[in-house]
């Protein structure tokens, strides 16, 4: 019986998330996890690796990342430079092409002697070709290295976890091959549980007041960027560091800015929105 994922003392997994992880592992398909930033997608991969007792290989995708970089990169420029050096100066490296091949994360995952968890983080950051270009390799778990003529084949099919912040739509052919899960923003009860794994000693009164305010802020219409789990954790960390109690959080109304709002509202338009709403509320009294 293989290990199953069910969350941990440091990570709250809702039942539907645990089901999705275990289904993807059973089906041996990549798990595509979507959700707004801060909902625990990256952390999920670390937790799955821990729960299944597997090594984690993390590939963080940037806007310029190409699929080929996950396989390998061939450094033709260094090779050319070395070829201009004489023997003894590094020139002898030239004859061995493997000196100029840098293994990518997929290669590292494939050659690993045990099964690994491979995280492909924020797949939607790269251009639209990126997921399509990886289809073959992820399906067949092998690829060819033209420079050396070798084929790299996975010794054990990795558990692949792919995350997306939903900035771009992903191609259908890619979606078809994945098991999909959307992490919904946690409800009050789940968020309280998440806070407690990070701050086990927090007093219920402070937690209750802070989360009520947090949800009021989050649900304010017209926000450019809704604060998420990571913001509420930062905010509570500050409140605890300043030793503030629920009475210190008292506000004039649900539209006034909370204490230390810089942890929750990350752009001037949103701060301004609250200032305006508070002003309007005051003038109506
Ligand atoms: N379900 C959860 N249980 C415990 N901590 C969580 C959970 N979801 C989010 N967090 C915490 O919130 C922060 C952001 O999580 P992260 O995985 O970076 O989010 P994402 O990758 O979705 O942007 C981390 O500190 C993480 O530990
Ligand atoms: Mg992340």
Secondary structure in 3-state letters for 121-149: ECHHHCCCHHHHHHHHHHHHCEEEECCCC
Tell me the torsion sign for CA atoms 202, 205, 211, 213.
negative
C-alpha distances in Å from residue 16, one per residue of 6, 46, 118, 274: 10, 18, 21, 35
Mutate to test the pocket of ligand 1, among 43, 192, 193, 233 (most ligand atoms within 8 A of CB): 43
197 CA → ligand 2 middle, Å: 19
Q: Which helix H or strand E contains 26, and what residues bound it?
A: helix 15-27
Nearest CA to ligand 1 atom 9: 40
Output phi, psi for 49, to 5 deg.
Answer: -60, -45
Position 250 confidence tier, pLDDT thresholds 50, 70, 90: confident
Mutate to test the pocket of ligand 1, among 39, 41, 51, 182 (most ligand atoms within 8 A of CB): 39
pLDDT at 283 over 90: no
Q: Which ligand is nearest to the CA of 61?
A: 2
Pocket-forming residues, ligand 1, beta carbon under 6 Å:
11-12, 35, 37-43, 194, 197, 229-230, 233
Say which range, 195-204, 214-223, 250-259, has the weakest mean pLDDT: 250-259
> What is the structure's pLDDT at 81?
87
**pTM confidence score:** 0.93
Spatial distance between the Cα atoms of 61 and 36, rounded to a whole number of angstroms? 17
Residue 213 has a CB neighbour count (10 Å cut-off) of: 22
7 CA → ligand 1 middle, Å: 12
Q: Calculate mean pLDDT across residues 199-226.
A: 95
User: Tokens 């099964």 identify what position?
Assistant: 115
pLDDT at 6 over 90: yes
Nearest CA to ligand 1 atom 15: 40
Q: Which ligand is nearest to the CA of 41?
A: 1
Token readout for 265 is: 């509202």
Token readout for 157 is: 């099919």
Spatial distance between the Cα atoms of 132 and 143, rounded to a whole number of angstroms? 15
* DSSP 8-state class, residue 204: H
137 CA → ligand 2 middle, Å: 23
Output phi, psi for 216, to 5 deg.
Answer: -60, -45
Position 91 confidence tier, pLDDT thresholds 50, 70, 90: low
- Atom index in ligand 1 nearest the CA of residue 39 equals 22
> What is the structure's pLDDT at 123?
96
Spatial distance between the Cα atoms of 103 and 40, rounded to a whole number of angstroms? 28
The set of residues, in sequence order, having a beta carbon less than 8 Å from that of 281 and lying 6+ positions away, is 252, 253, 255, 256
Nearest CA to ligand 1 atom 12: 230
Mutate to test the pocket of ligand 1, among 181, 229, 236 (most ligand atoms within 8 A of CB): 229
pLDDT in tens, 223-232: 999 999 999 9
- Whether 57 and 117 have beta carbons less than 8 Å apart is answered as yes
Q: Which ligand is nearest to the CA of 60?
A: 2
pLDDT in tens, 127-175: 989 999 999 899 999 999 999 999 999 999 999 999 999 888 899 999 9
Spatial distance between the Cα atoms of 193 and 210, rounded to a whole number of angstroms? 14
> What is the structure's pLDDT at 174?
92
Q: Calculate mean pLDDT across residues 103-110.
A: 98
Which residue, 168, 246, 242, is CA-closest to 214?
246
- Atom index in ligand 1 nearest the CA of residue 13 equals 1
Mutate to test the pocket of ligand 1, among 11, 31, 230 (most ligand atoms within 8 A of CB): 230
Give percent of the chain above pLDDT 90. Answer: 80
Which residue, 158, 162, 159, is CA-closest to 174?
162
User: Tokens 């968020």 identify what position?
Assistant: 191
pLDDT at 1 over 60: no
The set of residues, in sequence order, having a beta carbon less than 8 Å from that of 144 and lying 6+ positions away, is 150, 151, 152
Maximum distance among all Cα pairs of the chain, rounded to whole angstroms: 86
Q: Which ligand is nearest to the CA of 44?
A: 1
pLDDT at 2 over 70: no
Per the prediction, the chain carries an average pLDDT of: 93
The set of residues, in sequence order, having a beta carbon less than 8 Å from that of 113 and lying 6+ positions away, is 155
pLDDT at 263 over 80: yes
Q: Which helix H or strand E contains 50, and what residues bound it?
A: helix 41-52
């Amino acid at each position: 019986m293989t290990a199953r994922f069910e969350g941990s003392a440091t990570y709250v997994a809702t039942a539907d998330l645990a089901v999705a992880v275990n289904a993807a592992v059973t089906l041996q398909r990549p798990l595509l996890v979507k959700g707004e930033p801060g909902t625990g997608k990256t952390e999920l991969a670390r937790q799955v690796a821990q729960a299944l007792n597997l090594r984690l290989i993390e590939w963080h995708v940037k806007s310029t990342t190409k699929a080929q970089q996950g396989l390998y990169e061939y450094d033709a420029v260094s090779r050319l430079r070395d070829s201009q050096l004489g023997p003894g100066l590094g020139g002898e490296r030239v004859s061995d092409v493997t000196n100029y091949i840098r293994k990518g994360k997929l290669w590292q995952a494939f050659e690993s002697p045990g099964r690994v968890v491979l995280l492909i983080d924020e797949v939607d950051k790269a251009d639209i070709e990126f997921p399509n270009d990886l289809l073959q390799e992820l399906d067949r778990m092998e690829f060819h290295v033209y420079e050396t003529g070798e084929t790299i084949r996975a010794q054990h099919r990795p558990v692949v976890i792919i995350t997306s912040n939903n900035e771009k739509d992903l191609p259908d052919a890619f979606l078809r091959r994945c098991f999909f899960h959307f992490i919904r923003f946690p409800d009050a009860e789940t968020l309280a549980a998440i806070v407690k794994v990070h701050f086990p000693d927090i007093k219920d009164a402070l937690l209750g007041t802070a989360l009520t305010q947090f949800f009021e802020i989050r649900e304010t219409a017209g926000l450019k960027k809704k604060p998420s789990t990571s913001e509420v954790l930062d905010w509570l960390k500050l409140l605890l560091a300043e030793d503030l109690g629920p009475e210190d959080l008292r506000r004039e109304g649900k539209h006034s800015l909370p204490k230390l709002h810089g942890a929750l509202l990350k752009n001037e338009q949103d701060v301004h929105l609250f200032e305006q709403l508070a002003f309007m509320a005051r003038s109506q009294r």
